[in-house]
Amino acid sequence: MRLNEYRIMWVLVMFDLPTETKKDRKAASDFRRDMLRDGFAMFQFSMYLRHCPSHENAATHIKRVKNFLPDKGHVGIMCITDKQFGDMEIFYCAEKAKRRDIPQQLEMF
């Protein structure tokens, strides 16, 4: 099926994890590490995102994130289309940021 901006998805994972104890900090660190290993990139301190070529691929990565959820904290997972992601405006302080080029990802099956 032909790729287009309405079929390509972005998976956003937003979280607020406790870090009071050494065990909590390790769980939060492990969660971030697992997301990075699965191809997510940090967008903000508690928000990671991943480009997926289809709904089915996005569902696979959402399932993986659910498998390594920590015992404590709040985690939200959201999917948006590439078109919606492209319409986002990003600001640093009061200045509009220049859009960075998104690297092309090659996935092999």
Residue 48 lies in a domain: yes
What is the predicted pLDDT for the residue at 91? Answer: 82
With CA atoms as reference, report the closest residue to 86 among 103, 108, 66, 102. Answer: 102
Query: Is 104 within the bounds of a domain?
Result: no
Do the domain assignments include residue 107? no
Q: What is the pLDDT of residues 23-78, one digit of tens each?
A: 999 999 999 999 999 999 999 999 999 999 999 999 999 999 999 999 999 999 99
Full domain range(s) for residue 60: 9-96
Contact between 3 and 69 under an 8 Å Cβ cutoff? The reply is no
Within a domain: residue 64? yes
For 21, the token pair is: 């104890």
Query: How far is it, in rounded angstroms, from Cα 29 to Cα 21?
Result: 12
How many domains, the chain?
1
Q: What is the pTM of this model?
A: 0.80
